[in-house]
Amino acid sequence: MHRFLVVVERAGANYSAFAPDLPGCIATGDTVEETRRNMQEAIELHLQGLKEDDLPIPEPGSFAEFVEVAS
């Protein structure tokens, strides 16, 4: 099992998501939850495609942190 960081962003009237460790793997949705579900499916399909093409699955290496700054 692999765990990949997924970044979800507001994109106007909807949301978009991407996985920094899986270039080109993106998804969108009307809500955050829909976007998460769509991204889960996109990652599964992306990894399946890598396996079918005999390409290695990248090792997850990205992480996220919050940084506080004075305003």
**Average pLDDT for 42-65:** 96
Q: Which residues are registered as beta bridge partners of 70?
A: none
Question: What Å distances lie between residue 18 and 15, 27, 62, 67, CA to CA?
Answer: 11, 7, 12, 21
Question: Mean pLDDT across the chain, nearest whole number?
Answer: 96
For the chain, give every domain's residue range: 7-52
Q: How does pLDDT run across 12-45, given as a tens digit for each residue?
A: 999 999 999 999 999 999 999 999 999 999 999 9
Q: Which residues are registered as beta bridge partners of 17?
A: 8, 27
27/17 Cα distance (integer angstroms): 5
